[in-house]
Structure 1
């Protein structure tokens, strides 16, 4: 999704400046439009031949980044609008999402929080568009690791996660105040609805969660 762009080798693109057209940006400083050989287009500032400063980078597939460049890479605050739907508005470092930012996916889901090396990492909140369920907590390498899972009726899970699903010791609390303590165990089992695997390929599997109740505290009437 347009997270990184390759550096274009000298001499394979056209640079259009106020003074006219040239075949390379080597040594050029100022504002120009670069039409790269792969179909990408950059409009913005250059410094000594590299993208540096404010600019807009349009990828051949239609994604558009607007923001700041440093040494040819996206940096600081910027925004990517994706052709297939959705956007990212937030901070970049070394060409990747890093720091605080909000990502709205094509399906309407929204994540707002911290990023590292292009992945969700640190504190953040993910809201599912269809169900309005909410994950809120700490994320690591793109997945939630610990926090809360809140359902639309106010029921809330608090505990740890593995592979985006509850795992380990946890607590469920209803909107009325009833608290259920227990733990989840994950098991990888065959997917019954999947067609038979082809020779030499592993069968389709799914991770299922199994809950064991340890204690229940009823809400006060």
Structure 2
């Protein structure tokens, strides 16, 4: 039986591998948009929410392909900053994907705030659109605190600043193996796996 293709709306091969690992065992072949010749498809993420951005990216792919497609959006929501950086996490300091600048801006915003008031949560929203254009949305979140300085060299984004609840190390220090079990994206992907099992059974 031929595996059904699942095209991920990302150019980040690291993210594709992570999704492959979690969905292992399902009759699905996970590929990136580049693998199906749509590497240059850029979608402006101007939604007000993670859901809007994920849906926008997924629909842009679904309109061009007959495969299942998947898009996600993630953000760090800091309670005392009214949920900032939130949907703007990857461009918080004004430049897309400059982790260092984004981390520095976050630390500036939280200057003089004691640790007990530095509560935050990482959230991920994943949108899956099937071949018959039905959408499924799944969520994942991971609560923790924002540290006073970056710690650890692993991960990306705000990982060196974020210590998940129940741990005394940041995602930057904990490393891939633990992060991939407890992170917001890992939880959302586990929920996606359950949704995909149902979709595969029905079909």
**Do the two structures share a fold, i.e. TM-score over 0.5?**
no
Superposition TM-score, scaled by structure 2 size: 0.24
Higher RCO (CA 8 Å, separation ≥ 6 residues):
2
Structure number with greater Rg is 1
